[in-house]
Chain A
Amino acid sequence: MKLRRQALLTEPPASATSDIAFILIIFFLVCASIQEDDGRPQEIPNSDKERQSKNPIRVGLERDHIKLNGDTMAMQVFEEKLATLLDQKVNEAEKTVAVRCSPTVPYGRWMEVTALIEDSGGTITLMRKVQ
């Protein structure tokens, strides 16, 4: 007489699948929402002629040096001189700082300088060559 072998139970427990999937959903949602977007707000006024200063402070930004009203100087000197210049201005329109940037200046450096200008009380306008 042949004995029949009993078939093995190969089905995975289905009741746990929903719990696993639910935990995965929560995990991905939490991961997606913890991406930090902290930063600096910046106001760059529109090209409103009335708001623009006729004689703004001019900053020339290059990769390795910086110019304030045409004079090349070290970063620390620039910071001090800019603060002095802005203190002498009375109204907001006069506190406009026109930044002309060399095309190769990296964003990190641009951000550092514009943040410094804003912290000193200046309002930035961009000066670009029209192509």
Chain B
Amino acid sequence: MILQRRKMNAEVPSMAMGDIAFLLLIFFIILARVTDDSHVKVNKASGEELEKPKSKRVSVAIDTNQITYLNGVRINPDTITAALYQPDAPPGQQGLLGDLPPGQRTVLLKIDKDTPAYLFEPVIEAVSKAGGELHHVLEEKK
């Protein structure tokens, strides 16, 4: 007598897939909010012949309430230079720009068009001091 081998059930449990995908969704949303500054409200100034930035690694923003942000996190404008570049710190802890070569040291500046000079000039100066390459984010002039 030949005994028939019992078939193995190799089906992937589909009930868990929804939960996994949902957790992934939450994870990506939180991650996206931490690294970008899309939640910062800025009315862009206008300009002509706009270019795409070389890098989007670092952004400094001043919103409609005149609050300053570094990569979407609120920051005291006096500490921007140190946060971007500290030449005396050990390698790996030299700030967001660290030892990046020229051409990759782009800092996006998203400044509300009504921000007064006494607030945005120190920020521009701080980025420049840290060796950042300024890229003003603007909207095309109509």
Which of A's residues lie within 8 Å of B, judged by CB?
A: 14-15, 17-18, 20-22, 24-25, 28-29, 32, 35, 37-44, 46, 101-108, 110-112, 115, 126, 128
In the complex, chain B residues whose CB is within 8 Å of the CB of A103 = 116-118
Give residues of chain B (121-142) contacting chain A, Cβ–Cβ below 8 Å: 121-122, 124-125, 128-129, 131, 133-140
Q: Is B10 an interface residue (CB 8 A)?
A: no
**Using a CB–CB distance below 8 Å, which chain B residues touch chain A?**
14-15, 17-18, 20-22, 24-25, 28-29, 32, 36, 38, 45-53, 56, 59, 62, 106, 108-109, 111-118, 120-122, 124-125, 128-129, 131, 133-140
Residue pair A32, B51 in contact (C-beta under 8 Å): no
List 7 contacting pairs A-B, 8 Å CB cutoff, sorted by A.
Answer: A41-B53, A44-B128, A104-B116, A106-B115, A108-B46, A108-B113, A128-B121
Enumerate chain A residues within 8 angstroms of B18, measured Cβ to Cβ: 14, 17-18, 20-21
- Total residue contacts A-B, CB cutoff 8 A: 136
Chain A residues near B24: list those with CB within 8 A. 21, 25
Q: Are B14 and A15 in contact (CB under 8 A)?
A: yes
In the bound complex, do residue A37 and residue B52 qualify as a contact, i.e. CB atoms below 8 Å apart?
A: yes
Given A18-B14, A107-B45, A111-B45, do A40 and B121 touch, yes or no (CB 8 Å)?
Answer: no
- The 4 residue pairs across chains A and B that have the minimum distance between CB atoms: A17-B18, A21-B21, A108-B113, A18-B17
Chain B residues within an 8 Å CB radius of A24: 25
Q: Are B14 and A28 in contact (CB under 8 A)?
A: no
**Chain A: CB-nearest residue to B29:** A28
The minimal Cβ–Cβ distance linking B71 to chain A, given in whole angstroms, is 13
Given contacts A35-B38, A111-B45, A111-B47, contact A25 B28 (CB under 8 A): yes
